[in-house]
Amino acid sequence: MSLRWSTESDYDVLGCVMFDAVHRGRSLYTDTQRRAWVPAPRTGEDWRARLARQHVLLAEADGVAQGFMSLLPNGYIDFAYIRPAFQRTGLFRLLFQAIEGKAAQLEITRLFTHASLVAQPAFRAMGFRVVRPETVKLGGETFDRYEMEKLLTKA
């Protein structure tokens, strides 16, 4: 497994990784919820603009994207998706440790995210705490998720 910071040429592939993770990975959401969450692989100008504002770390195995995680300059982890074949393999930890290292370089003192029901235990294992449970609407469906945070200490 290799990690690298993504470039604009990776953005469509990241949309496919996200789609694959949501639709084929282990989930506590219904099929209807998953279709509402990510109806198709993300592409296009809005997707590209959103990713361009972030530090996006890409994990590859044999040159094929298997997961990614992103960090906004304010400490928000916007995306954390791993293809089904690499879920529960330690890839989430590997990605997170690199993102946490980037946050330290940027002198970010608080990481935060909105974690899905499946991602919440992985973030908790990385030292995050639940700030509050939330229910949100997306695409006509209701989703439970968690606002989570981790305070970082300066080295």
**Range 92-106 average pLDDT:** 97
Distances (CA, A) of 30 to 87, 89, 115, 137, 149: 19, 24, 16, 14, 26
Q: Residue 155: its pLDDT value, please?
A: 56
Whether 144 has a pLDDT exceeding 60, the answer reads yes
Of 16-20, 26-30, 145-149, 151-155, give the lowest mean pLDDT range. Answer: 151-155
**Range 102-126 average pLDDT:** 97
**Range 76-87 average pLDDT:** 97
Q: What is the pTM of this model?
A: 0.95
**Domains of the chain and any CATH numbers:** 2-151 (3.40.630.30)
Confidence of residue 153 (pLDDT cuts 50, 70, 90): confident
What residue type is 36 in one-letter code? A
Q: How far apart are CA 11 and CA 52, in angstroms?
A: 9
**92 within 8 A of 78, measured Cβ to Cβ:** no
Q: Residue 110: its pLDDT value, please?
A: 97
Q: Could you read off the pLDDT of 61-80 as tens digits, one per residue?
A: 999 999 999 999 999 999 99
